[in-house]
A and B are shown apart, each in its own frame.
Chain A
Amino acid sequence: MTTTRPSVSQADLAHVQDYIKKVRARVGTVVVGQDVVVERLLIALFSGGHLLLQGVPGLAKTLLVSTLSKSIDLGFARVQFTIDLLPSDILGSEVLDQRTNEFRVRKGPIFTNLLLADEINRAAPKVQGALLEAMQERKVTIGPETFRLPAPFLVIATQNPVEQAGTFELPEAQLDRFMLVHRLDYPSPEEEREVLRRNAALGIQRQDKGAIVQTEFDVLDQRPVGSGNEIVAAMEAVSSIHVSDTFVDHVVEVVHRTRTHPDVELGCSPRAGISLIKASRARALMHGRDYVVPEDLYALAEDALLHRMRLKYGSIAEGKTGRQVLDEILRAMGGEARS
């Protein structure tokens, strides 16, 4: 294993940006709109973080992740989290091979590049804990053996913010493991019309002696637009994006303000600032820049910071939301000129 701090040329940057455009275009052939979500997925992938998507059912979360995995030639696995799920169902376990009378390891679905943990809050805390530990350490221990997870390894978890009955809310410490938490919105009317038009255009697909109705999954071009090398190049490019001292100061200020705001009981940890800078670098690359600007900070602040803040009970009782408080914090930045 080598650690590199690459210096990427403008040509390499242009190549990476071209690759990203192709990926987005491929995803766009199946998923309508959701540009921001695609951007967040790629940010998480290129900057080595994990992503939690919060949204009501039916917003094409699974389709989006599945499409992305096929577009970028990555291994993909999906686990539907339920109350009776066990850690071994995700990580794997030792099984007795009756032919050799020895235990052998059966790896779980976590051994993939892109793991979709659907409705993560429905599983028991011990399952959540096992997954989140693997996310942090990027290795899994089964029996006496420890296995390194494949690289890249990205967990995209989903969570339904509405149905909370019978769920186990992720505690702040575990939410902190997710680099970004993105809250999906409904598509715009125009996007929704396009979704309906495309869905109406789907036909049936002959299979065996009968036929099944086609879904969006069936129309996706199975050929990836690039290889693993492109992903590595993109990751290298992200780590070469310049972060100015001024930008670091902005990040420190916004993180510090979350700790001193009167409505906030628990402010952001230093990991929040790290995540914000990592994600900003990836976003800068996706927007064709080799340096980060305040726009990246403002665009990613909600996804990187909001899940790391906990409001005071009194503020919640007054009807304040974390998003309102974060907006207040961001608006307050630069409120006083010092020169």
Chain B
Amino acid sequence: MMLFRKWTSRLACAAALATAPQHVSARPPQEVASPTVGMPARWNDVVLPGSELEAVTSSRTSPVALRIVAVRPHGDSFRYDFEFWGLEPGVHDLRALLVRKDGSTKSDLPALEVTVRSALGEEGMRLPNAPKPAELPELGGYEALLVAGGVVWVAGLGWMLLAGRRRRAAELAAQPKVRSLAERLQPLVERAMRGELSREERAALELSLVALWRRRLRLDEARPAEVIATLRKHPDAGPLLSKLEEWLHRPQPRGAEEIPALLAPYRNLRAEELDSDGAAR
């Protein structure tokens, strides 16, 4: 009889185990502390069904951070010791911070809600007033003066350039177009004959004519003293140079001369030939 009872109780236990549900629910979190914001709290011996879980790294915006302190097998489940920090007051579900190590679904997990209290009372955290962007002052007097001065300077420069160009264009338009060296020389020679040239003009006219003929007759290699003697005897260069000598150097120059005849050798020369760089063109 005793043996029968022993076996009957064993069978009853076995039957009870056989008819028990396949998964184990988490124990109710009666013993879970409700920490204040920022303070750590422990939740030990939490048995959760399924494969082993691990905590995910909490993000900067996560309201709670979770660390698994210890994991132990518990039948076909596991028993966990959690440590968590609430970063914002309220009720938070720790499931959001857990994943299966084998990557399987965690839908069978029960809710793991913890409450985080605020230490600041009902009003919560008092935030400082949001700063309002200050309005920029209007452009200061010195800077405005600089800008205005710059504008005036640029405008003035532009005006001067335009005015100078316009005046030069007007002068050019007013001048008769010089076509030959004879035409360029004629007013100078006439003024030389009348003794109206300035000192500078006299010296420049005489020496530039010497230089012109030296270039034209290719006397650059000759000694300067020979050049001038040669030019005085030359049928083209000589007449005007000799007359200029008389008009510019003689104390009482003789009367008027036939200027067109003197300028005849210069009719076929370009006006620019009198300039040293013009000859090279």
Contacts of A242 in B (CB 8 A): 249-251
**Separation in Å of the A58 CB from the closest CB of chain B?**
24
Q: How far is the CB of A307 from chain B (nearest CB, A)?
A: 16
**Contact between B208 and A245 (Cβ–Cβ < 8 Å)?**
no
Size class of the contact patch on chain A = 20 to 34
In the complex, which residues of chain B have a beta carbon less than 8 angstroms from the beta carbon of A331?
211, 214, 220, 224
List which A74-103 residues lie within 8 A (CB) of chain B. Answer: none
B245: Cβ under 8 A from any A Cβ: yes
Return the contact of A291 from the options B208, B209, B251 (Cβ within 8 A). Answer: B251
A339 interface residue (CB < 8 Å to B): yes
Selected contact of B245 from candidates A253, A290, A294, A301, CB within 8 Å: A294
* Closest A residue to B245 using CB positions: A293
Question: Contacts A291-B250, A301-B224 known; A338 to B245 CB distance under 8 Å?
Answer: no
How near does chain B come to A143, taking the closest CB pair, in angstroms? 47
Determine if A333 is an interface residue (Cβ-Cβ < 8 Å): yes
Please determine whether A295 and B199 come into contact, CB atoms closer than 8 angstroms.
Answer: no
Q: How far is the CB of A278 from chain B (nearest CB, A)?
A: 16
Which residue of the partner chain, among B200, B203, B211, contacts A335 with CB atoms under 8 Å?
Answer: B211
A286-327 contacts to B (CB < 8 Å): 290-295, 298-299, 301-302, 327
Contact between A294 and B206, CB atoms less than 8 A apart: yes
Contact A335 B276 (CB under 8 A): yes
Q: Which of A247, A253, A327 lies in contact with B224, CB distance below 8 A?
A: A327
Asked if B94 CB lies within 8 Å of chain A CBs, one says no
Total A-B residue contacts, Cβ distance less than 8 Å: 91
* Other-chain residue from B199, B227, B228, B232 in contact with A249 (beta carbon distance below 8 A): B199
B251 to chain A: which residues have CB within 8 Å?
Answer: 242, 244, 290-291
- Is B201 part of the binding interface, using a Cβ–Cβ cutoff of 8 Å? yes
CA A93 to CA B215, docked complex, whole Å:
60
Question: What are the residues of chain B within 8 A of A338 when measuring CB–CB?
Answer: 200-201, 204, 208
Q: Would you call B250 and A327 a contact (CB within 8 A)?
A: no
Interface residues of B, count at CB 8 A: 31
A334 B207 Cβ-Cβ under 8 A: yes
B249 A291 Cβ-Cβ under 8 A: yes
Chain A positions within 8 Å of B276 at CB level: 335-337
- Assembled-state Cα–Cα distance A294/B245 (Å): 8
A253 to B232, CA, bound (A): 22
Residues of A within 8 A of B248 (CB): 244, 246
Chain B contacts for A339, CB-based, 8 A: 188, 201, 204-205
Task: Select one of A244, A245, A294 contacting B210, CB under 8 A.
Answer: A294
| Seed contacts A246-B203, A295-B245, A334-B209; 6 additional CB < 8 Å A-B pairs | A242-B249, A244-B251, A246-B248, A250-B207, A295-B225, A337-B274
Closest 8 CB pairs of A and B: A334-B207, A330-B224, A337-B208, A334-B211, A338-B204, A249-B203, A242-B251, A337-B274
Chain A residues with CB under 8 Å of chain B are 242, 244-247, 249-250, 253, 290-295, 298-299, 301-302, 327, 330-331, 333-339
Residue numbers of B with Cβ under 8 A of A are: 188, 199-211, 214, 220, 223-225, 227-229, 232, 245, 248-251, 274-276
Pick 12 A–B contacts, CB within 8 A, sort by A: A242-B250, A246-B199, A249-B200, A249-B203, A293-B245, A294-B210, A294-B249, A295-B225, A299-B225, A331-B220, A334-B207, A336-B275
